[in-house]
Amino acid sequence: MSDFPAARLHVVSGKGGTGKTTVAAALALALAAGGRKVLLMEVEGRQGLAQLFDSPPLPYEERKVAVAPGGGDVYALAVDAEQALLDYLHMFYKLSPNGLPARTLRKIGAIDFATTIAPGIRDVLLTGKVKEVTTRAGSRGGRYYDAVVVDAAPTGRMPRFLNITHEVGNLAKVGPLKAQSDGVMAVFKSPQTVVHLVTLLEEMPVQETVEAIEELTALGLPVGGVVVNMVRAPFLSHEDVAAVAAGTAARRLSAGLKTAGVDPALAPVLLQEASEHAARVALEERGHDALAHLQRPTYELPLLPDAVDLGGLYQLAAALKAQGMA
């Protein structure tokens, strides 16, 4: 049973460098397991998903990138603001993307204006696409996708990205832009949406996670779980970490190395490495405590020995599923 049975839209954010793209992809695989259809979306034009799935840059179309255990499908889509605008003009105003009006708009810089310069409009376009795929109807009733996972902006920009009504509200009090952003906001604030945060057990990512949750809560956006990524295996017991930190492990280690057939002259070097590890463990524990205070469902993903490939993604997806995130 998933911890988020009502959620269909999973927004994944986190500080830069925490691996949120990897976690979003693993979550999509986990959600797809057992025959479901899941869309994995990228909104920052980074082509991080293509790199992760080792495919050529993704075009602006929903494309199958992986099959989940038990037969589910993961589709991927890299949303691009310009394409989203042309899409929008086509859907609502019947402007063909290659017709004269659209070409002229591009030529005089209107497309560029709407997608890169005009504040808010770009985010309305991107989040509008998120809403569209989330609420798209399936051919036999129900929804087209069982779940949508968004690899969203990093924590610093994410609340602004999601709090679209506010950004647009300053510009447009009435009219279609306002109506569109209100529609998007209604989806984001509904029980079908959850925002997950990815962190490492390091000071700044934990701090940003705490701040992001405060901010999301203040905005009335639904906070999901916290994913602690790249957790290292515990090589030493609590007692041994404490002994290393206190500097009382030297004799035992020298004796142990001799027994194990390793040159005891290496003891000081190894002890130095172990004491750095002990210092990190102490910081990690502080991070753990800060995260525990949040009282959010928390999931841990192991640090994989090599760069994450498809095999690694399956492993992470299984871990998320086993811990109840999907």
Partner 1 sequence: MSQPGTRLKLDELLDTAKIIVCCGSGGVGKTTTAAALAVRGAERGRRTVVLTIDPARRLAQSMGLTELDNTPRAVAGVDGELDAMMLDMKRTFDEIVLTHAEPDKAEQILKNPFYQALSSSFAGTQEYMAMEKLGQLRASGEWDLIVVDTPPTRSALDFLDAPDHLTTFLDGRLVRVLLAPAKASGKAYLKVVTAGLNVFTNAITKIIGASVLQDVSQFVGALETMFGGFRERAQATYDLLKDPGTAFLVVATPERDALREAAYFAERLAEERMPLAGLVVNRVHRTAGGQLTAQRALDAAEQADPLTAGVLRLHAERVELAQRERRLRERFTSAHPAVPVVDVAAQPGDVHDLNGLRAVAAELAG
Task: Give residues 126-165 in contact with partner 1 (rule: CB under 8 A).
Answer: 154, 156, 160
> Which tokens in the block code for residue 146?
């069982």
Residue from 34, 63, 83, 112 that binds partner 1 (CB under 8 A)? Answer: 112
Q: Put the strands of the sheet holding 63-67 in their side by side order.
A: 63-67, 73-78, 37-42, 147-151, 9-14, 193-199, 223-231, 298-302
Residue from 5, 56, 57, 305 that binds partner 1 (CB under 8 A)? Answer: 305
Residue from 56, 57, 142, 261 that binds partner 1 (CB under 8 A)? Answer: 261
Q: How far is the CB of 101 from partner 1 (least distance, A)?
A: 4
Give 118's Cβ-side CA count (13 Å radius): 21
> Which tokens in the block code for residue 86?
């042309």
Number of residues lying near partner 1 (CB under 8 A): 80
- 89 vs 133, which CB is nearer to partner 1? 89
Which amino acid is present at 191? Answer: P
Q: How many residues does the chain have?
A: 326
Q: Which residues pair with 223 in a beta bridge?
A: 195
CB 123 within 8 A of CB 172: no
Residue from 33, 105, 133, 194 that binds partner 1 (CB under 8 A)? Answer: 105
Residue from 140, 293, 295, 307 that binds partner 1 (CB under 8 A)? Answer: 307
DSSP 8-class letter at 265: G
- 64 vs 258, which CB is nearer to partner 1? 258
Q: How far is the CB of 3 from partner 1 (least distance, A)?
A: 28
CB 23 within 8 A of CB 14: yes
Task: Give residues 11-30 in contact with partner 1 (rule: CB under 8 A).
Answer: 15-18
Residue from 182, 203, 214, 289 that binds partner 1 (CB under 8 A)? Answer: 203
What span, in angstroms and rounded, lies between the C-alpha atoms of 192 and 301? Answer: 25
* 108 burial type by CB count under 10 A (0-12 exposed, 13-18 middle, 19+ buried): exposed
- 137 vs 239, which CB is nearer to partner 1? 239
The secondary structure of 6-42 as a DSSP string is T--EEEEEE-TTS-HHHHHHHHHHHHHTTT-EEEEEE
Task: Give residues 223-242 in contact with partner 1 (rule: CB under 8 A).
Answer: 232, 235-237, 240
Task: Give residues 63-102 in contact with partner 1 (rule: CB under 8 A).
Answer: 88-89, 92-93, 95, 100-101
Residue from 61, 182, 273, 285 that binds partner 1 (CB under 8 A)? Answer: 273
The secondary structure of 281-300 as a DSSP string is HHHHHHHHHHHHHTT--EEE
Residue 120 interacts with partner 1 (CB under 8 A)?
Answer: yes
Q: How far is the CB of 323 from partner 1 (least distance, A)?
A: 24
Task: Give residues 159-178 in contact with partner 1 (rule: CB under 8 A).
Answer: 160, 167, 170-178
The secondary structure of 201-228 as a DSSP string is SSHHHHHHHHHHHHHHHHHTPPEEEEEE
Residue from 67, 186, 218, 283 that binds partner 1 (CB under 8 A)? Answer: 283
Residue 53 interacts with partner 1 (CB under 8 A)?
Answer: no
Q: How far is the CB of 216 from partner 1 (least distance, A)?
A: 18
Q: How far is the CB of 20 from partner 1 (least distance, A)?
A: 11
- 1 vs 307, which CB is nearer to partner 1? 307
